[in-house]
Amino acid sequence: MKGSFRQSMAWLHTWSGLIVGWVLFAIFVTGTASYYRPDITRWMRPELTRAAPLDAPALGAAAERAVTYLKEHAPKARGWFIGLPQPDKPVLDLFWRTRPGEPPGHAMLDPRTGTEAAMRDTRGGDFLYRFHFELHMPPLWGRWVVGICAMIMLVALISGIVTHKRIFADFFTFRRDKAPRRSWLDAHNVTGVLALPFHLMITYTGIITLALMYMPWGVTTAYKGDNQAFFAEAGWVTTPRAPANRPAALAPVGPLVERALATVPETLERLSVVNPGDANATVIAVFEEPHGLSHQHPQIAFDGVSGEMLEVLGDGLKPAAKTFTVMTGLHEAHFAGTALRLLFFLCGLMGCAMVATGIVLWSLARLPKANERAFFGLRLVQALNIGSIAGLPAAVAVFFLANRLLPVDLAGRAEWEIDAFFGAWIVAALVPLVRPQRRAWCEGLAAVSLLCLAVVAADILTIPGHPLRLMGGDPLFAWFDAAMLLLAGLFALAARKVLRYEAPRKEGKRERDMAQGPRPEPMAPSPTRAPVRHREPTHA
Partner 1 sequence: MAFPAKITLAERASVAGRVVLAAGGGYGVAALATALLSLTLPLTRAEAVAAATLLSFAVMAGIVVFVFAQRSLLRATVAVTGLAGLLCLGLWLAMRGLTP
Where do contacts with partner 1 occur on this chain (CB under 8 A)?
1-2, 5, 8-9, 11-12, 151, 154-155, 158-159, 162, 204, 207-208, 211-212, 214-215, 217-223, 230, 233-235, 318-321, 323-324, 327, 365-366, 375, 377, 537, 540
Residue closer to partner 1 (CB basis): 10 or 414: 10
Residue closer to partner 1 (CB basis): 220 or 462: 220
24/392 Cα distance (integer angstroms): 12
Exposed, middle or buried: residue 67 (CB in 10 Å: 0-12, 13-18, 19+)? buried
Pairing of strands 299-303, 282-287: antiparallel
Provide long-range contacts, Cβ within 8 A and 24+ apart, for 463-468.
463/46, 463/404, 465/46, 465/49
Q: How far is the CB of 211 from partner 1 (least distance, A)?
A: 5
Closest CA to 331 of 319, 318, 348, 314: 348
480/176 Cα distance (integer angstroms): 32
Q: What is the 3-state secondary structure (H, E, C) of 17-40?
A: HHHHHHHHHHHHHHHHHHCCHHHH
273/301 Cα distance (integer angstroms): 10
Residue closer to partner 1 (CB basis): 16 or 275: 16
41/88 Cα distance (integer angstroms): 10
Q: How far is the CB of 229 from partner 1 (least distance, A)?
A: 9
Q: How far is the CB of 158 from partner 1 (least distance, A)?
A: 6
Q: How far is the CB of 129 from partner 1 (least distance, A)?
A: 22
Q: How far is the CB of 275 from partner 1 (least distance, A)?
A: 24
Alpha carbons within 13 A on the beta-carbon side of 198: 22
Alpha carbons within 13 A on the beta-carbon side of 155: 20
Q: How far is the CB of 264 from partner 1 (least distance, A)?
A: 23
Residue closer to partner 1 (CB basis): 215 or 503: 215
Residue closer to partner 1 (CB basis): 375 or 422: 375
Q: How many C-beta neighbours within 10 Å does residue 356 have?
A: 24
CA distances (Å), origin 206, targets 28, 129, 235, 487, 518 = 11, 13, 21, 26, 46
Q: How far is the CB of 537 from partner 1 (least distance, A)?
A: 7
Residue closer to partner 1 (CB basis): 220 or 306: 220
Residue closer to partner 1 (CB basis): 122 or 203: 203
What are the residues facing 93 on neighbouring strands?
83, 108
Q: How far is the CB of 15 from partner 1 (least distance, A)?
A: 8
Q: How far is the CB of 219 from partner 1 (least distance, A)?
A: 6
Residue closer to partner 1 (CB basis): 210 or 499: 210
Q: How far is the CB of 100 from partner 1 (least distance, A)?
A: 23
Residue closer to partner 1 (CB basis): 7 or 183: 7
Spatial neighbors of 331 by CB under 8 A, at least 6 apart, are 201, 202, 205, 206, 208, 209
Q: How far is the CB of 141 from partner 1 (least distance, A)?
A: 17
Pairing of strands 309-313, 282-287: unpaired
Residue closer to partner 1 (CB basis): 225 or 436: 225
Residue closer to partner 1 (CB basis): 154 or 346: 154
Q: Do the Cβ atoms of 474 and 49 come closer than 8 Å? A: yes
The secondary structure element, H or E, covering residue 507 is none
For the four alpha carbons of 166, 172, 173 and 174, in that order, the dihedral sign comes to positive
Q: Do the Cβ atoms of 356 and 25 come closer than 8 Å? A: yes
Residue closer to partner 1 (CB basis): 203 or 388: 203
Residue 109 backbone phi and psi in degrees, to 5 = -115, 155
Q: How far is the CB of 315 from partner 1 (least distance, A)?
A: 16
For the four alpha carbons of 407, 410, 414 and 415, in that order, the dihedral sign comes to negative
